[in-house]
């Protein structure tokens, strides 16, 4: 997945997004909350519940209102298994510790 500097390729980011909307988001949010959202382009931050946009990846559009970065669910930044990765607002990711 990420290279030694923690850079994610476009394919990596697409895979992380797809895995989140297909396998993880429904464990966090009830389906009725997601009805109005086009999950291919937007989603909800798993930490705060606010919108994140796929196009506003932090590396390309830093510090936008709907930016996201790759979060390591278990907190281990070296564990780049897909099941340990999800999109999250950068500020939520930092506050997670």
Rounded average pLDDT per 10-residue block, the chain, 97 residues: 73 95 89 84 95 90 89 94 96 88
Longest dimension (CA), the chain: 40
- For residue 57, which phi and psi values (nearest 5 degrees)? -60, 135
Q: What pLDDT, on a 0 to 100 scale, did the predictor assign at position 71?
A: 96
Strands (E), the chain: 42-44, 51-53, 69-72, 85-88
Write down the domain spans for the chain. 10-96
CB atoms within 10 A of CB 74: 10
CA atoms within 13 A on the CB side of 79: 10
pTM above 0.85, yes or no: no
Q: Which residue has the tokens 């099941």?
A: 83
């Amino acid at each position: 997945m990420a290279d030694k500097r923690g850079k994610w390729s476009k394919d990596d980011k697409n895979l992380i997004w797809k895995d989140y909307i297909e396998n993880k988001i429904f464990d966090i949010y009830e389906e009725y909350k997601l009805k109005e959202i086009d999950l291919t382009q937007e989603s909800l931050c798993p930490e705060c519940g606010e919108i994140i946009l796929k196009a506003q990846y932090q590396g390309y559009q830093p510090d936008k209102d709907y930016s996201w970065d790759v979060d390591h669910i278990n907190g281990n930044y070296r564990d780049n298994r897909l099941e340990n990765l999800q999109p999250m607002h950068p500020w939520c990711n930092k506050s997670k510790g």
